[in-house]
Amino acid sequence: MAVQKNTFRLITLLPFLLCSGLIAYALYVEYVDFLMPCNLCILQRVVYILIGLLFFVAAFKPTLHWGRKLIGALALIVSVIGIAISGRHVWMQGLPPEQVPDCGPSLQMMMDSTPLWDVLEAVLTGSGNCADVQWELFGLSMPTWSLVMFIGLFLFILIWMFMPVHILKKP
């Protein structure tokens, strides 16, 4: 079933709106509820911002252009990175207390004193504060919900990339 061009543009804005809402809620939880994000949470935010920006750009380009496949491929790669980061976070939260790594320095402190590659490696291995479950909804932690969102975005992107678009001919 083909969708019309204007409908397709609105569909393209959905991931942008979702990612914007998730970032807005993350900032609300941080600055209003004072729930400080761990390093893996910050990386997940960066991934949401990238996906949102890709779809924002995609909403304003020609719908039948090869750029849709390119933006879709980039968004797929970024969403897989998000799945990996949030999956690692969920895995860390499931570790027994004796296997949880020690708490490390904050991301800002590491960025100020360590080369970028070493910072990325340290952040992806996680620290003890990444294993703390500080927020739950329906029994699932925030990283688990993030994993669900990234999987949903991945599936949406696959559908979006190959969705047929019908352009109405003007008489």
**CATH assignment at residue 18:** 1.20.1550.10
Q: Is the dihedral of CA 68, 74, 77, 83 positive or negative?
A: negative
Helices (H) and strands (E) in the chain, counts: 6, 4
Question: How far is residue 12's CA from residue 35's CA, in Å, rounded to a whole number?
Answer: 31
Q: Quick: pLDDT tens for 19-31.
A: 999 999 999 998 9
Q: Which domain does 120 fall in, by range?
A: 3-94+105-159
Quick check: is 168 in a domain? Answer: no
pLDDT at 80 over 90: yes
Quick check: is 154 in a domain? Answer: yes
Beta-bridge mates of residue 4 = 166
Quick check: is 9 in a domain? Answer: yes
Check: CB of residue 127 under 8 Å from CB of residue 102: yes
| Percent of the chain whose predicted confidence (pLDDT) is above 70 | 75
Quick check: is 99 in a domain? Answer: no
Quick check: is 109 in a domain? Answer: yes
Buried b (16+ CB within 10 A) or exposed e, 46-75: ebbebbbebbbebbeeebeeeebeebbebb
> What are the C-alpha distances in Å from 170 to residues 2, 3, 111?
18, 17, 55
Quick check: is 167 in a domain? Answer: no
Quick check: is 165 in a domain? Answer: no
Quick check: is 164 in a domain? Answer: no
Q: What is the domain count for the chain? A: 1
Q: Quick: pLDDT tens for 36-55.
A: 888 788 889 999 999 999 99
